[in-house]
Structure 1
Amino acid sequence: MDSSLLEVWQAAASTPFRPAVAKDSQFFIAFLLLLIGVAITGFFALNRSFINITALGVPASAAIAAVPQPLFRAVASSTRPLYQLLRTISFSNKVHVQLQEDGIRNIDHGLGTAFLDKKLFTSYSLNLAEDEPLPNFQITLPALLETLQIFGAVDVATRTQKAEQDPYRSNLRNYRPDAFSNHILGIGGTCSLVYVEEGGQFNIIIEESGVKTTASLTTYLPEIPEEIPFDRENLSFKIIMQARYLLDALAELAPTGPSRLTISASKSQPYLSLSGAGDLGSSSVDFAKGRELLETFSIQDRWTQTYKFDLIKSSSEAMRIASKISFRGDAQGVLSLQFMVEVEGGGVSFLDFRFVPFITHEDDEDEDGQDEDEDE
Structure 2
Amino acid sequence: MPLSTQPETGDDQYILVANLDNVRNLSNILKAIHFKDHATCFATKNGIKVTVENAKSMQANAFIQAGIFQEYTIKEDSVVFRINLTVLLDCLTIFGTNALPASSTALRMCYKGYGHPVTLFLEEGGVVTVCKIHTQEPEDTLDFDFCSTNVINKIILQSEGLREAFAELDMTSEVLQITMSPDKPYFRLSTFGDSGSAHLDYPKDSDLMEAFHCSQTQTNRYKLSLLKPSTKALALSCKVSIRTDNRGFLSLQYMIRNEDGQICFVEYYCCPDENIDEREP
The two structures have a TM-score, normalised by structure 2, of: 0.89
Measure, in 2, the Cα distance between the counterparts of 1:284 and 1:339. Answer: 23
Structure with more of its chain in helix, by fraction:
1
Checking the alignment, whether the CA contact within 8 Å between 1:259 and 1:310 is kept in structure 2 is yes
Offset at 1:146? 0.8
Residue 127, structure 1, aligned to residue 71, structure 2: no
Q: 1:66 to 1:277 in 2, by over 3 A?
A: closer
Residue 155, structure 1, aligned to residue 74, structure 2: no
Quote the residue 1:314 is aligned against: 229
Measure, in 1, the Cα distance between the counterparts of 2:202 and 2:104. Answer: 46
Q: 1:300 to 1:205 in 2, by over 3 A?
A: same
Quote the residue 1:336 is aligned against: 251
3-state SS of paired residue (1:267): coil
Offset at 1:75? 1.1
Q: 1:67 to 1:325 in 2, by over 3 A?
A: closer
Greater RCO (CA < 8 Å, at least 6 residues apart): 2
Measure, in 2, the Cα distance between the counterparts of 1:350 and 1:252. Answer: 25
Residue 325, structure 1, aligned to residue 268, structure 2: no
Quote the residue 1:111 is aligned against: 59
Q: Mind listing any 5+ residue stretches in structure 2 that lack a counterpart? A: 1-7
Offset at 1:66? 8.5
Residue 247, structure 1, aligned to residue 247, structure 2: no
Residue 260, structure 1, aligned to residue 175, structure 2: yes
Offset at 1:127? 2.0
The two structures have a TM-score, normalised by structure 1, of: 0.68
Query: Which residue identity is paired with 1:345?
Result: D
Quote the residue 1:141 is aligned against: 85
Structure with max Cα Rg: 1
Quote the residue 1:222 is aligned against: 138
Offset at 1:189? 4.7
* Residue 94 of structure 1, aligned match among 33, 38, 42: 38
Query: Which residue identity is paired with 2:209?
Result: L
Q: 1:332 to 1:127 in 2, by over 3 A?
A: same
Query: Which residue identity is paired with 1:338?
Result: Q
Offset at 1:277? 0.8
Q: 1:188 to 1:232 in 2, by over 3 A?
A: closer
Checking the alignment, whether the CA contact within 8 Å between 2:256 and 2:263 is kept in structure 1 is yes
Offset at 1:284? 1.6
3-state SS of paired residue (1:270): coil
Q: Could you give the per-residue CA deviations for residues 333-373 of structure 1, whole angstroms, max 9, x where no partner exists?
A: 0111111111132211111111100233xxx63xx1xx68x
Query: Which residue identity is paired with 2:114?
Result: E
Query: Which residue identity is paired with 1:352?
Result: E
Structure with more of its chain in strand, by fraction:
2
Measure, in 2, the Cα distance between the counterparts of 1:145 and 1:154. Answer: 11
Residue 203, structure 1, aligned to residue 119, structure 2: yes
Aligned residues: 270
Offset at 1:67? 7.8
Checking the alignment, whether the CA contact within 8 Å between 2:23 and 2:104 is kept in structure 1 is no
Measure, in 1, the Cα distance between the counterparts of 2:63 and 2:84. Answer: 17
Measure, in 1, the Cα distance between the counterparts of 2:224 and 2:21. Answer: 38
Q: What is the CA RMSD across the aligned residues, in angstroms?
A: 2.1
Residue 234, structure 1, aligned to residue 176, structure 2: no
Offset at 1:301? 1.0
Q: 1:302 to 1:68 in 2, by over 3 A?
A: closer
Measure, in 1, the Cα distance between the counterparts of 2:31 and 2:268. Answer: 13
Q: Mind listing any 5+ residue stretches in structure 1 that lack a counterpart? A: 1-63, 157-180
